[in-house]
Amino acid sequence: MKNSIQSSFITFILILAVALSANAQNQEKQFYQLKTYFLKDGNQEKVVDTYLKNAYLPALKRAGIENVGVFKLIPTEEITDLKIYILLPFSSIEQFLTLDDMLAQDKSYLSAGDSYIHAKHDNAPYERINSTLMKAFPEMPMMEASKIEGPRKERVYELRSYESATEAIYQNKVDMFNAGGEVTLFDSLGFNAVFYAEVLSGDRMPNLMYMTTFANKESRDAHWKAFGTAEKWLELKANPNYQNNVSKADIILLYPTEYSDY
């Protein structure tokens, strides 16, 4: 009987240790939310800018959420859409889940954001909001706010989404970034990554997303040229284990707003 109790106790301790270890590993990785505002005109853009600058970002800081990036599309002849992208880092999934409740109790936020929060149905401040929830890669478990300097409208924050044909093929591409060494390669070439992450919930799954940063368009193009000819990339590209693992790549070039944290 005594041996049976001891055996059960040891089993319990082992299970508890495994659970705590798994929980600790999850806590070491940040979670990210990418919120995208779709806007119809300059008036909506101004309302959302004012809300983000004067109400939302200050409230996030009071809630302990730092390094929030706010970006807009770099305009071209082909790209005329009005969008605002907000990238938020969370230390845990609980912080993400409780954020709205915290904001609802923040009197300064409610006051500063009143015109946005209580906008009328026929004068909405945006067309819609898209939200993507992500979990950081093991090779870069914490966000690193870009240290790129220079005029903000000249900077390039490159947001990429890689879709895969199936969940299994998607995991292969994630492995290529981590165990395969793609993250390390980007690092060695000075791509100034902000994050790499698996998409947990979004509208283009299965997919991963990441963001790299450059002082200007010329720097961005030079970095990608170096990447395309790097020995490590040519080796990865030719590796039979990593073939056909991206079915679609979306490339979005952004610049930071003047009130963005970076």
pLDDT given at position 2 = 47
Picking from 160, 164, 162, 175, the residue whose alpha carbon sits closest to that of residue 244 is 164
131 bridge partner residues: 35
* Torsion angles phi and psi, residue 140, rounded to 5: -145, 80
For residue 191, give every residue at least 6 positions away whose Cβ sits within 8 Å of its Cβ, in sequence order, or none: 212, 213, 214, 223, 227
221 and 172 in contact (C-beta within 8 Å)? Answer: no
Whether the ω angle into residue 141 lies within 30 degrees of 0, i.e. cis, is no
- Residue 121: the pLDDT is 96
User: What pLDDT, on the 0 to 100 scale, is given for residue 80?
Assistant: 79
Instruction: Please give the pLDDT value at position 77.
Output: 80
Q: What is the reported pLDDT for 186?
A: 98
Task: Please tell me the predicted confidence (pLDDT) of residue 23.
Answer: 46
Instruction: Give the pLDDT confidence of 35-66 residue by residue, as tens digits.
Output: 999 999 999 999 999 999 999 999 999 999 99
Question: Which residues are CB-contacts of 166 (< 8 A; sequence separation ≥ 6)?
Answer: 206
Compute the distance between CA of residue 31 and CA of residue 94 in angstroms, rounded to an integer: 10
Q: Residue 19's pLDDT is what?
A: 41
Low-confidence ranges of the chain (pLDDT < 70): 1-27
Q: What is the pLDDT of residue 13?
A: 43
pLDDT at 78: 80
* pLDDT given for residue 93 in this prediction: 97
